[in-house]
Structure 1
Amino acid sequence: MFAPRTTPWPLVALFTAGYLAPYLLPTVVGRLDAGLPLSATQAGAVGSALLLSSAAAGFVLASRVERIGARALARVGLLLAVLGYGGAALTGSVPAVVFGAMVGGFGSGTATTVAATRIAAQRDPHRASALGLLAVSALAGTVYLTVPHLGAGHGQPLAAIALTALAVWPLTGRLPGPTAVPHTRRQREPLPHLRSGLLLAAAMPCWSLAQNALWGVSGRIGLTQAHLTEATVGVVFAAALGTGLLGVLGAGALGARFGRALPIGAGTAVIAGCIAVSASATGLASFAAGEIAWNTFYPVVLSYLIGLAASLDPRGRWAVLVGSASSLGTAAGPLTGSVLSAQAGFPVMGAVLAVGLLVVAVPMTAVALHTGGRPLLPGAVRRRGGTPAAVVAAATGTPTGAVPRVGAPEQPVVEIPVDAPAVPARAAYDTAGPRRAGAAPGAGAK
């Protein structure tokens, strides 16, 4: 029988700590604008610097998690997040806030890198990533409901990120230590599915930029264009993240039942429409409808994209590289949204972002289609028709010892030379009789 699936709670918690800063970006940028002598564009630039630092951590550490060890690297990332965000929350100096945000961003990126690498090694990376998105959505929704009641200032959302990193620290003891990776192995294992991975890595920054360009200015859309109070905007964001939880639960329940191409392609098209509606909102109804619908589909598509990247390499390298490339778009999002909205207004910004999403949906869907009909992981033996035999056997209850686990390294094929001369079966029968013939080389197997 198969061992029951265990929930990787330390990885889910680490994923939550790493992703919380991007989820709280609207309130972070909005409060930097209101609480410090910064313009809207400058506040967006601080948010972009935070996320750019997070992306840099992914690029630097993508191939070093095994050698350094997930436990040590996760602790370093969480420590940087506590010190960076905590320090930025306690000071009113603009240079200190910027420096603390960048240090905290590097810590968030480190935590996300470790979580993505370890999640890719799970038997079901889509399930683990969906649980992570579920946790971070719930926590971010709670923060959006709480922060408006804690007074003005930029420190509250930054302090929430720092306290989350501090709370996750004890769970890092269950993560593995360093793994000795021979130099020859690193040389002999190039990135699999190179073209698909590169195409996905090139498309993800554009996809993330469009999402976070709107997300970074959503608070200002609600306050200035829809004429809502901060508390009302916070309630809308909390409700939107709450429906996002339902979307993640639905994605986790559906799994790969409809493949990845349909959720990624059609979901991105729906998100494009939601962005256009939200950016054109002039009242509570349109603002809430756009934000809630958008936040419902965004984590669904993101969970499938994370699962697609993780499936390209069981060692998690594509998951980290694609995630870091996505963080580049995430980093440029707030500044892009601020510049576009300042130059052309929120509705035009929304239309531009929606068109860009429709364009970038094409290559991402192509990658999902291209990799969906063949085994994505080493060790998955292909049957006629394209279904990995290991998956088929698992579905029919075959004992685990008879089928290699999906993602297991392939066993080398070794040729065994046979030096003994072949003996014709008829000659052996004639000379030794039927009883002696069973002792001939190769005989005896039933």
Structure 2
Amino acid sequence: MNGEATIGMSTPPSVGLLPVASIVLTGLASAAIIVAMPGLLAGMSTKLGLTDSQIALINASEMGGTTATTLIIAAWLSRLDRRKAAFVGLVLIVLANLVSAFASTFLLLIGARFVAGLAAGALQGMLSASIAATPIPDRIFAIYLTANLTMTTIMLGLLSRFSAAGHPEWLFLSVVALAVLAILLLRWLPSEPVTLQPQGTAGTRSSRGYGPAVLLGTFILLVGVGLTWPLVGVLGLDRNMSGEAVASALSLATIGGIVASLIVSGIGDKAGRRLPISAGAAGLCVAVLIFIFDRGQTIFAAAAFIFMFCWVLILPYCAGLVATIDPSGRLSVLWVTMQFAGLATGPIIAAGLLLSSADLPFYGSVVCFGIAAALTLHAERGSRSAPKALETSSL
């Protein structure tokens, strides 16, 4: 009218408690058991006669399946009915964990865990796309992280009790329960992307390099984490700490992650993303330098707390950033792939660096955190040109 072109904008939907619960339970069913898996397999080794190499193969097969399906989901996301795909994934999670709980041979267990990995990758992809389909992805991802870290702590406690009872495999049944609850709430899983920019311009920012920048930044960030975090327990033992003291320090670190996710759940992106991403990267570097140069036991626990706090602080803002750059969800799925790839690559590089010096992996992680922050902040600058979504959420 009057010769003026109008630009269509869509209003993002509100986010109620049931959609958030659906997102959280879908994520927990696919990922909550990952941290407890090494201890769980170790507990089952006596019953099934598993060797160390077989345990490593089981872990590798599950993570390999997870990484592979996130790539497939990213390629086919626009063709998939997200709720139907999530339903198939959750059913496979139920079946794979039931088989795992009652497996009597190595081949049956590794087959079940590979299927569980395939399903978990699909669900993590659907989860990321669903979070991207909300108007407040930073806060929603932080809420999921809070639930995931809390459930991880609960599962480690359950594993201790089940192992004492001689049945560590019962932990698989807790995943079955989570998956069944997720299926019951699946109808509320967000499935349509929210449009945060004028129609017809989707993908323009990503094509200018912001999407690849944040993906590469995430990969390098998690490589840095993989260079350091798997070695933290050994560092504690090198300080003449007892196994119980190291476990206590790592439990405290988990609380640090929960605190960080609760903070982001509360404030979202009200302070922007640039400050928390910068502060998180700086905090990671400080924690690593403490690991290198200070040999005290108390400061070790503090450094572990800072490391986990800053690691978890950064992730929700990266999730929100990729959702802003590409609301369709495809970039969010690839972002999950970059996390798995980075966490898998870091320990491999660390193994090579340790042949030369015990400190090299830690120096390498500092370099990784600096590069990752630079790439992510470059993408963040580009994303700020996007119109802000109206937050009509009930959260």
- How high is the TM-score relative to the length of structure 2? 0.78
SS at match of 1:123: coil
Residue 444 of structure 1 corresponds to which residue in structure 2?
Answer: none
Mapping of residues 299-314 of structure 1, within 5 Å:
299-314=312-327
Residue 87 of structure 1 corresponds to which residue in structure 2?
Answer: 99
1:185-241 CA distance string (max 9 Å, x none): xx9965752211012222222212222444445455556775533x55544333322
Of residues 182, 188, 196, the one that matches 1:168 is 182
Q: What is the identity, as a one-letter code, of the residue corresponding to 1:254?
A: I
Matched pairs, number: 369
CA distance in 2, matches of 1:270, 1:29: 33
CA distance in 1, matches of 2:105, 2:240: 31
Bigger Rg over Cα: 1
Give how far 1:286 is off. Answer: 4.3
Match status 1:238 vs 2:251: yes
SS at match of 2:326: coil
Q: Does structure 1 conserve the Cα–Cα contact (< 8 Å) formed by 2:41 and 2:55?
A: yes
CA distance in 1, matches of 2:118, 2:285: 30
Gapped regions of structure 1 (runs ≥ 5) = 180-186, 381-387, 395-399, 406-446
Of residues 256, 266, 272, the one that matches 1:253 is 266
Residue 211 of structure 1 corresponds to which residue in structure 2?
Answer: 225
Residue 115 of structure 1 corresponds to which residue in structure 2?
Answer: 127
Comparing 215-224 with 232-241, greater Cα deviation is found at 215-224
Q: Does structure 1 conserve the Cα–Cα contact (< 8 Å) formed by 2:40 and 2:159?
A: no
Match status 1:136 vs 2:148: yes
Gapped regions of structure 2 (runs ≥ 5) = 1-11, 194-199
Over 3 Å counting, the alpha-carbon distance change for 1:361 and 1:192 in structure 2 is: closer
Q: Does structure 1 conserve the Cα–Cα contact (< 8 Å) formed by 2:162 and 2:168?
A: no
SS at match of 2:271: coil
Of residues 65, 68, 78, the one that matches 1:53 is 65
Give how far 1:140 is off. Answer: 0.8
Over 3 Å counting, the alpha-carbon distance change for 1:178 and 1:219 in structure 2 is: same
SS at match of 1:245: helix
Mapping of residues 407-446 of structure 1, within 5 Å:
none
RMSD: 3.8
Over 3 Å counting, the alpha-carbon distance change for 1:6 and 1:316 in structure 2 is: same
Mapping of residues 397-408 of structure 1, within 5 Å:
none
CA distance in 1, matches of 2:228, 2:98: 26
SS at match of 2:122: helix
Residue 216 of structure 2 corresponds to which residue in structure 1?
Answer: 202
CA distance in 1, matches of 2:38, 2:299: 18
Over 3 Å counting, the alpha-carbon distance change for 1:44 and 1:309 in structure 2 is: farther
Percent identity over paired residues: 21
- How high is the TM-score relative to the length of structure 1? 0.70
Match status 1:6 vs 2:19: no
Give how far 1:283 is off. Answer: 7.1
CA distance in 2, matches of 1:191, 1:49: 37
Q: What is the identity, as a one-letter code, of the residue corresponding to 2:222?
A: S
Higher relative contact order (CA 8 A, sep 6+): 2
Over 3 Å counting, the alpha-carbon distance change for 1:208 and 1:87 in structure 2 is: farther
Q: Does structure 1 conserve the Cα–Cα contact (< 8 Å) formed by 2:276 and 2:314?
A: yes
